[in-house]
Structure 1
Amino acid sequence: MPHSGPRSEAERSDLLAGAVGAIIASEPITENMIATAGNLKVIARSGVGYDSVDLQAATKHQVAVCSTPGVNHHAVAELALGLMLSMARQIHRVIPEVAAGNWPRAAGTELRGKTLGIIGYGPSGQALAALGLALGMQVVVHTSHPQPPVSAVSFQDLQATAQAADYLSLHSRPTGAGPLVDALLLSQMKPSAVLINTARGSLVDESALLEAVNNGVIAGAALDVINEEPLPASHPLRGQERILVFSHLAGQTLEARQRAGMMAAESVIAVLEGRKPVHQVNQPSPKPTTQWSQL
């Protein structure tokens, strides 16, 4: 039976003991874990991000780190669209109300004609832009790489994108310079705007977001990623009427998992066979190759 729930560092370390290769999800891989796994040559992350792995420690201990970009961008874009629809039509509120015996009839809003702001224009940002255009939305994008050009997409700076958006969806990596969405950026958004985050929890100042929503600076938010996962029971984001929190589900489709697993396995096999994997994110000196058996 697959493991359910977070493992302790000791449990994760035991799993790596004696391993030459590891395929991991989002659980942290620390320097101590890497240092004590003397046979480890490669860590393959079954996802796009790899910030859960101590990359500096992996490089120091000659362990290759790989990711699986491009496997879940349609899944991420579809969930981002789903979060927008839920916020627009209050789907997440109606379902439990009807289940409780009520019959709510509150009016929602349509996505057509609204402005979709996208921060980050990698595969998932591009996929969401296509979905937004198909629904008749205006699409405004902030990115440092405005490629490929799309005539229907307007590329703007960060402030202009935030100011224009009815829905502001995050699809960028952390900058390392603190949260991208802070109190200042939130103050520049429309009071009717909704923030969508399926990228990284660290992109958003959660305290500033909570204050902005409660004070009517923006209308609400839908978050699939947060700074501390799993979300503690006492976390202030729980139970908020206008903040919808999901449990990091954007890439969790059967199709995306299959693609990620295959790509991660191919990376592990490449390293163990002395070849360079396609999506290696660090450059350690290779460990001496040892014999291994293919199961």
Structure 2
Amino acid sequence: MPHILITTDYLRPGDEVDRYLRMRGHTTVHTSLAGVRAPERIAEAYAGADAALVGHEPLTADVLRRAQQLRVIVRTGVGYDAIDVAAAGELGITVSNLPGINANAVAEYTLGLLLASARRLVHSASAVAQGAWPRRHGRELRGATLGLLGYGAAARAVVPLAQAFGMRVLCTTGVPNAEQADATVHFVGLPELLAEADYVSVHTALTERSRGLLGPAAFRAMKPTAVLINTARGAIVDEQALAEAVRTGQIAGAALDVTVQEPLPSDSPLRGVDGIVVYSHMAGQTDQARAAAASEGADELLAALAGRPRFAVNTPHLAGPPAKRTG
């Protein structure tokens, strides 16, 4: 009887997913690993688990080696950069994600950040709460240029929403020309996008190539009136360089749903910079997206346990006998 660990913080004992898995003969244990997670605590949680539905906790090679029975990991979301997928593959562990599962939620949230930034909504509400009555003007989105870094499901879902507001959409991406099917989107190189965009919105995966992609050179290339939006991964942005760029007026501001370290540490360079607003990694968190991720995640976990994963991200690493685990 497989033992399933569930660490995603919005899944609870006795909920629909829990009942679904138990009805199919599995035992479940819920251990929320949200917030700051010590490696030792994570390793302890995974002891004895055959499969896991996971949130954002970092699953390092050391943690995975200590998970003696683990065969399947399913990330209840899209990004899986917190998991050492190569090490998992060498240990015989299948890792899956749920591509596009929260695309609509992220797209709507992105428009929300655009509107909040353009009209300075957070600044206004905070000032009123402190007894002031600010009347500083904002900007309309109509006629502005939105630059998308990436053309995955979330970015594609942003396009019609932005166009409904009258925005011109640029995109820089590595997908083949044949897949750039939207004739209303202008595909350009990164330098051109940075130079022309009034808003630069990040929708690309975190890889070694994209880590720190938006640093000093990128901010120097952007308009002084431009705003950065990031709903992807914090490490794509050089946070020290961003803070300096906003503080000195190289760019106008930033709305960040993700940061390098979460929760945001007290000594983060992003704190106290007028024009930078940090949110709490909520872009994909809607009732609908959570329900879809829970259902699809449970189905993917069962499929992977049966040897038929639909969304495995590390299948090529599974060739050959699994590496020996120590615990």
TM-score bracket, normalised by the shorter chain, equals over 0.9
Aligned to 2:266: 233
The answer (yes or no) to whether the contact 1:48–1:67 under 8 Å persists in 2 is yes
- The letter for the 2-side match of 1:36 is R
- The letter for the 1-side match of 2:138 is G
| Aligned-partner Cα distance in 2 for 1:286–1:105 | 66
Runs (5+) with no aligned partner, structure 2:
1-11, 13-30, 323-327
1:277 aligns with 2:303: no
Aligned to 2:232: 199
The answer (yes or no) to whether the contact 2:246–2:273 under 8 Å persists in 1 is no
| Aligned-partner Cα distance in 1 for 2:223–2:215 | 15
Aligned to 2:190: 158
Offset, 1:151: 2.5
Please give the secondary structure, in 1, of the residue aligned with 2:304.
helix
- The letter for the 1-side match of 2:171 is V
Runs (5+) with no aligned partner, structure 1:
289-295
| Aligned-partner Cα distance in 1 for 2:264–2:207 | 23
Aligned to 1:21: 51
1:53 aligns with 2:79: no
The answer (yes or no) to whether the contact 1:143–1:155 under 8 Å persists in 2 is yes
Aligned to 2:69: 39
1:91 pairs, out of 121, 138, 144, with: 121
| Aligned-partner Cα distance in 1 for 2:206–2:76 | 19
Aligned to 2:96: 66
Offset, 1:239: 2.1
| Aligned-partner Cα distance in 2 for 1:7–1:175 | 22
Give the share of equivalent positions with the same residue, in percent: 44
The answer (yes or no) to whether the contact 1:41–1:287 under 8 Å persists in 2 is no
Offset, 1:269: 0.6
Aligned to 1:139: 169
The answer (yes or no) to whether the contact 2:150–2:203 under 8 Å persists in 1 is yes
Aligned to 2:245: 212
| Aligned-partner Cα distance in 2 for 1:213–1:99 | 25
| Aligned-partner Cα distance in 1 for 2:42–2:213 | 31
The answer (yes or no) to whether the contact 1:63–1:286 under 8 Å persists in 2 is no
Residues 30-57 of structure 1, C-alpha deviations (whole Å, 9 max, x = no match): 2222112111110101111111111122
Please give the secondary structure, in 2, of the residue aligned with 1:235.
coil
1:234/1:88 Cα in 2 relative to 1: closer, same or farther (>3 Å)?
Answer: same
Please give the secondary structure, in 1, of the residue aligned with 2:65.
helix
Aligned to 1:149: 181
1:287/1:24 Cα in 2 relative to 1: closer, same or farther (>3 Å)?
Answer: farther
Please give the secondary structure, in 2, of the residue aligned with 1:50.
coil
- The letter for the 2-side match of 1:121 is Y
Residues 144-163 of structure 1, C-alpha deviations (whole Å, 9 max, x = no match): 22534222211111111111
1:248 aligns with 2:315: no
| Aligned-partner Cα distance in 2 for 1:32–1:78 | 38
| Aligned-partner Cα distance in 1 for 2:195–2:281 | 27
Please give the secondary structure, in 2, of the residue aligned with 1:195.
strand
Please give the secondary structure, in 2, of the residue aligned with 1:109.
coil
The answer (yes or no) to whether the contact 2:36–2:262 under 8 Å persists in 1 is no
Offset, 1:286: 8.9
2:205 pairs, out of 173, 176, 179, with: 173
1:259 aligns with 2:289: no
Report the TM-score, using the length of structure 2 for normalisation.
0.83
Residues 155-187 of structure 1, C-alpha deviations (whole Å, 9 max, x = no match): 111111111100010111234134211211111
Please give the secondary structure, in 2, of the residue aligned with 1:121.
coil
1:189 aligns with 2:219: no
Offset, 1:7: 3.0
Aligned to 1:130: 160
The answer (yes or no) to whether the contact 2:304–2:310 under 8 Å persists in 1 is no
Offset, 1:96: 1.9
Aligned to 1:293: none
1:75 pairs, out of 80, 101, 105, with: 105
| Aligned-partner Cα distance in 2 for 1:46–1:257 | 8
Offset, 1:259: 1.1
RMSD: 1.8
- The letter for the 1-side match of 2:199 is Y
- The letter for the 1-side match of 2:288 is E
Please give the secondary structure, in 2, of the residue aligned with 1:70.
coil
Report how many residues are paired. Answer: 287
